[in-house]
Amino acid sequence: MIEIGLHADRTLPALVHAARLPWLASPQRGVERRMLERVGGEVALATSIVRYAPGSRFPGHVHDLGEEFLVLEGTFSDEHGHYPAGSYVRNPPGSSHHPFSEAGCVIFVKLRQMNPAQSRRVVHAGAAPGERLLYADAHETVRMERLEPGCTIPARRVSGGQELLVVEGSARLAGEAPQALQAWSWLRSAGTDQTALESATGALLWIKQGHLG
């Protein structure tokens, strides 16, 4: 059964440990999901972890309000190219594709969350070391940031809120239990004050800021 109001109030904080969730079937055989936030049914504003079994594919479809995804494992493909682990892609509103995976993959994907005026397709193929800016405009920034072992990202003010996904490693919010955020933990904070984040072992983070204002 599809959630139609999962963490739907985007003015509220949310924390989901996606690695602990069950895989839920999608309408397409071989494609499963772990849902993080959702507003709507099968056509929804949604943030999810999606797994493609080897040889699976999804029918061609249009993204009316855009799609962005980060490949976590394996290689994701469509008629435009092949995207190995670490790739980040933004398909703008009105774009379409026929996604599939020959060997299987896992992606972190956000649907129907772009400004209709956005028209530029963005592709960062494959992983790159260290911090890198993935996308920036007047309303949001998206980047990868590596938190080295024993280091801290200090508390800061971020207009428009922030969300992050722990891609690798583990981290914790300052003052909370050690290693509270494991790989595939997703955190949304709509407020301007962002708590310090620290890691004893190191972590790779996907961070999106400004879009919740």
CB-count exposure of residue 89 (10 Å: 0-12, 13-18, 19+): buried
At 19, give phi and psi (nearest 5°): -65, -20
Q: What is the pLDDT of residue 2?
A: 55
CATH 3.40.50.12280 fits 132-209, yes or no: no
CATH 3.30.2350.10 fits 22-124, yes or no: no
The Cα–Cα gap between 41 and 147 comes to 36
Dump pLDDT digits (tens) for 100-153. Answer: 999 999 999 999 899 888 899 999 998 776 689 999 998 899 999 999 999 999
Residue 121 and residue 161: Cα distance in Å, rounded? 24
The CA-atom distances, in angstroms, between 34 and each of 60, 164, 210 are: 21, 16, 25
Say whether 211 sits in a helix, a strand or coil: coil
Please determine whether the domains at 22-124 and 132-209 fall in the same fold group of CATH.
yes
Structural domain boundaries in the chain: 22-124, 132-209
Report, as ranges of residue numbers, the positions in the chain whose pLDDT lies below 70: 1-3, 129-130, 177-179
